[in-house]
Structure 1
């Protein structure tokens, strides 16, 4: 099966009360772990590439790795998505190279400039068979090239969504309702809370329209503790409770982004091997453990958080 767009994925997810996982990829082992889990559980899948991943791994290498994964995965639908494209040029480059979905993040701009920029990307993408995700509202946190302070973060204003969607022609909309980028999402003692009232109002205003949640890693304490055991300082890492994400997935949220959880799982596996076997120098010895951690994590997310098992 060739790479697909998210159009049909999101239609089925909205109607079925589940979400599709969008997992950030950086290298071969991470891709293998994600796709292996999705293939076994017959789940639709979005592999997404950030600007940081493109700089690190080279766009050509990543694209070819994803193409290989599509061949190995068999008949599950897989979309290739650009995460947080900051301008028209990077979106165009990804569209031209065969991405089936791109995100243009104009949330740092004024409402009118966000509309102008998003529509520019939409017009080009739709002419080339690609779909577009836009964003309204600003998520706090740090992840790759995204860096928004808590003071600058803002919830999505439901009163703006109808006009934004209509004027841009965007295919899905990322909103800010309390999620945050990175592992350190909240201050110590602060209770994570998603604004389901905002989500419900947005769903009322644009019924049937696919909504996206960024910054939705749960920050598994199992992996946090394992990394801390070997010297990593993650004492204050707090994520979004999985039951909140499952509730969101059962409503208008059709895509949930997961990145920090993957980093934690991969790193925990590698640190475990290297700490217990200091003489190891074969990368295959520790990377395969990181890969297995990725597969275990993604399987859990598909079954317990996204609800997408068997929906391919």
Structure 2
């Protein structure tokens, strides 16, 4: 089973009022346990990598492993490059076989964001590769991208409409009050803003900063049209904490098969809980493969 474009996957999710989780993977083994969990849940899924992970593992290597895992588990799988500000890295990912890329020019003025997004749209034209862009500024830290609380800005609905009209981008991540990482307090999600943007646009929206957002809030975002929900920090933390606890309890147990299995089970449990949260469990049979 080849990797598939996330465009039809997300369009169907939006039309049928469920979400697709995009899980950040940082190692080759994480690709397999994310898809193993998705297969158990009969859920389509998106594997997502940061620019740092691409530089660490190599775009072509990631594509090969993700393709092999998708074929093994028979799960409709998209592969997405997240928060990329470098056009050359986007080209590298597209050429390697990524089925979705994000051009993050949200820190620039509106016109420059439009220009950079159109450049990526031209690159991916007729390739079936989904393109994601961002409007407003999502707070928090996403590897080398740092947006302070005071600099975080929510997307303007009218600008979202104009942006999509000018670029033709098929998915949009509007800043609506969430943040990357684990929240120090309660997230300030602007549901009214999401609803306004969703009514103006006929494309799937993307929820960034999905880690640690209360489940009822995520479900409400999905119901309002946010078809892609990004999860990174919670998944990474579950895996790492399980390894730490393994060595705390069994300091002499040095067999990687033991502590990695423990970490895998903790991470899989997190994947399963997020799939249930967005309502994509059991949707594999209804998901078109293109």
- Do both proteins adopt the same fold according to a TM-score greater than 0.5, normalized to the shorter chain? yes
Matched, 1:209 2:203: yes
Matched, 1:263 2:232: no
Matched, 1:311 2:283: yes
Whether the aligned pair in 2 keeps the contact of 1:29 and 1:287 (CA below 8 Å) is no
- Alignment partners' CA distance in 1, 2:271 and 2:108: 34
Whether the aligned pair in 2 keeps the contact of 1:51 and 1:145 (CA below 8 Å) is no
- Alignment partners' CA distance in 2, 1:28 and 1:291: 12
Aligned ranges 1:61-210 → 2 under 5 Å: 61-74=61-74, 76-183=75-182, 185-186=183-184, 190-206=185-201, 208-210=202-204
Matched, 1:277 2:272: no
1:57 Cα shift?
2.4
- Alignment partners' CA distance in 2, 1:152 and 1:192: 16
Q: Which runs of 5+ in 1 are unaligned?
A: 219-239
Deviations 1:260-281 (A, max 9, x none): 0111110121011111111122
Query: What TM-score does the superposition give when structure 2 sets the normalisation length?
Result: 0.95
- Alignment partners' CA distance in 2, 1:279 and 1:57: 30
- Alignment partners' CA distance in 1, 2:248 and 2:71: 35
SS in 2 for 1:13: helix
Moved over 6 A (4+): none
- Alignment partners' CA distance in 2, 1:276 and 1:143: 32
SS in 2 for 1:281: coil
RMSD over equivalenced CA pairs, Å: 1.2
Deviations 1:1-31 (A, max 9, x none): 2111012111211121111000011113321
SS in 2 for 1:133: strand
Whether the aligned pair in 2 keeps the contact of 1:32 and 1:291 (CA below 8 Å) is no
SS in 2 for 1:181: coil
1:192 Cα shift?
2.3
Whether the aligned pair in 2 keeps the contact of 1:29 and 1:288 (CA below 8 Å) is no
Q: Which residue pairs with 1:230 in the alignment?
A: none
**Number of residue pairs aligned between Structure 1 and Structure 2:** 284
Query: What TM-score does the superposition give when structure 1 sets the normalisation length?
Result: 0.88
